[in-house]
Structures are given as structure tokens and as C-alpha cells.
Amino acid sequence: MPGAPIKYSKTYTTPRRPFEKERLDQELKLIGEFGLRNKREVWRVKYTLAKIRKAARELLKLDEKDPRRLFEGNALLRRLVRYGILSDDRMKLDYVLGLKVEDFLERRLQTQVFKLGLAKSIHHARVLLRQRHIRVRKQVVNVPSFNVRLDSQKHIDFAVNSPYGNLGRPGRVKRKSDKKGAEGGAAAEAEED
């Protein structure tokens, strides 16, 4: 018996003007700075920001004592603070309208791995993530766009079974060189006898 049909909604919107020079340059700069794969990743963040700003604008239209504004406004602000997009001292709806795409891109796991010094470059950070070398708390995460909460930021580290961590099995090249070293040592002992 088939279940209810699954509805998917778009996670990004394409720009209205496809060949606007300033926007193209700005997107390319963001892609380079944050090591993104394509323009769609920029558009996805822009779409998220647009939805949050739209919600804030709707709430700002309401009266300050309106129960809906108090409840939904607090929920929105708490969520943004929890993810480190807004700082604690800027917990007002007016500040939500001043958010930029960079504020969201800064909180991606890929960016955080690079900033913590676990990777040599932003592109290396993405590779480490995709190859399952990074964990957040006890969970291995292989999604570069994973949004890191403030309380999880301290717990980003190499995975337990990763060769980059101290506990994991050594990598292919290290194993090969160890094997060669062991064979060389055994051959040298045989020659001495």
C-alpha cells in the first residue's frame, strides 16, 4: 500500500537577472573564499537568508506587544544565536535585517574545520569532510554545508578511525613505508648473520 506522496520544495532560487556583472563577481568571490562547489550553494544560502529576513519583516509590522511577535520573534532570534549567526548582544529583530550571506557561510562546518587549523586550506577542509575524517562530538559528519552550533564548535575533531587522528589506523602510504622499513630491517639482520 503506497504512502502519501512526498513533497519536495526548492531549496534555492535562481537570480532574476542571469548576467548581472556585480552579482556574478560577488558570487565568484564567495565561492573562492568559502570553497563552495557551485553557484547553487550560494543561492541556497541567499534563499535561507531571504526567508529569515521576510519572517523578521512580517513580525516587525506587528505591534511590539503582539503575542505572535513576542513568541515567533524570540524563537527566530534564539535559533540564530544558537547557531552563532547573531551575537547575544544583538538579539533584536532589527539586527536580523542586517544579516549578510557571509554570516551564514561563516558557520558552515567546512569553514570551521579550516579556521580551527585541522585543514591546510578551505578546499582541503571540504575533502577531509567528504572522506569522513571529521566528527562533531561523536558523530562523523561528511556534509560540508553542515551548520555548526555554538555549543558544538568545541567538539569538532578528527574521527576516531581517521589516520589523521592519533588513534586511527595509519594511512596507505604510512603502512607501506612501515612495511618496507620492517622488511629492510629484517634483510639487514639476515646479511649480518
Residue 100 CA to chain centroid, in angstroms? 16
Mean pLDDT of 43-47: 98
**% of the chain residues with pLDDT over 70:** 95
Give tens-digit pLDDT for 46-65: 999 999 999 999 999 999 99
Ranges 34-43, 121-130, 183-192: which has the least confidence: 183-192
pLDDT of 171 reads 83
Q: Rounded to whole angstroms, how far apart are CA atoms 107 and 148? A: 6
Q: Rounded to whole angstroms, how far apart are CA atoms 98 and 59? A: 15
Does pLDDT of 190 surpass 80?
no
pLDDT of 4 reads 87
Give tens-digit pLDDT for 119-162: 999 999 999 999 999 999 999 999 999 999 999 999 999 999 99
Mean pLDDT of 102-119: 97
Mean pLDDT of 81-107: 96
Helix H, strand E, coil C: the string for 141-190 is: CCCCCCECCCCCHHHEEECCCCCCCCCCCCCHHHHHHHHHHHHHHHHHHH
